[in-house]
Each structure stands twice: as structure tokens, then as C-alpha cells.
Homo-oligomer: A and B are copies of this chain.
Amino acid sequence: MKPNVYAAECPTRQILDRVGDKWAVLILLLLREEAMRFNQLRRTIEGISQKMLSQVLKSLERDGLLKRRAIATVPVTVEYSITQLGVTLAAAVDPLRDWAEENLKDVLAAQRRYDAQQKEEAA
């Protein structure tokens, strides 16, 4: 049976939702570079709260995209590293990040045109 992303119950859509997660993708791309600890991630990703980081890391681990390893130091440190599955997902996200960087200007320009148009029509 072929997946149909337009069907509501299609599990493939769950995965698109997961990528839709604002922070998940950023974390994966970072962990692809190197394994990192909790606070290290928090400091690197501007604007993420401890709660969200904890939450997203948990769900990424659940999906098998990263591994969590607690190390018995004092205080305890926890290392997060990407899995093979996570690497393939990160690779699939690359074209998207590239698109964003390449086409940012066009999108912002389109937004300005649209907003100017709206303003004009309102007058």
C-alpha cells in the first residue's frame, strides 16, 4: 500500500509533523556535527528553553533519531548523539536548509510586496 500524505491517518504525516517541529531539526543538524551535552545544546541553540529542549530530546530519542547516554560524573553529565537513522533524516533536511538560505531574499521581498499591496487596498 502506497502512503498518501493527504489522508488524515497516514503515519507518514506524523513524520512530516515531526520535522515541522521548530527545534527538532536544529538539534539533529547540530548533533550530526558532534555529540553534545544538555546545556551545551541549550547554549548553542538560541532561544530554546530547558523545558522544550528536554521535551524535544525525549521525543527524538523515542523516534530512534538520537541516543541518550548518562555518564556517572559529578555532577552527572548526559551526552546526546545522533543515530544512523538520524543522520539520514538530517541529510534529507539539508536541501531544505539550503533552499532557505538561497531563497530568503526572494521570500522577504514577496512579503514586502504583499504587505504594500494590502495597505494600498485598505486605503
Contacts and interface: CB of A to CB of B under 8 A. Distances in A.
Contact residues of A: prevailing secondary structure: helix
Contact of A104 (B15, B30, B47, B99): B15
A113 to B, nearest CB: 8
Assembly of this chain: how many copies?
Answer: 2
A19 interface: yes
Interface of A: 3, 5-8, 11-13, 15-17, 19-22, 25-26, 29-30, 44-47, 61-65, 85, 88-89, 91-101, 103-104, 106-111, 113-115
Given A64-B110, A64-B113, A85-B107, 5 more contacts: A6-B26, A6-B45, A63-B111, A65-B107, A91-B95
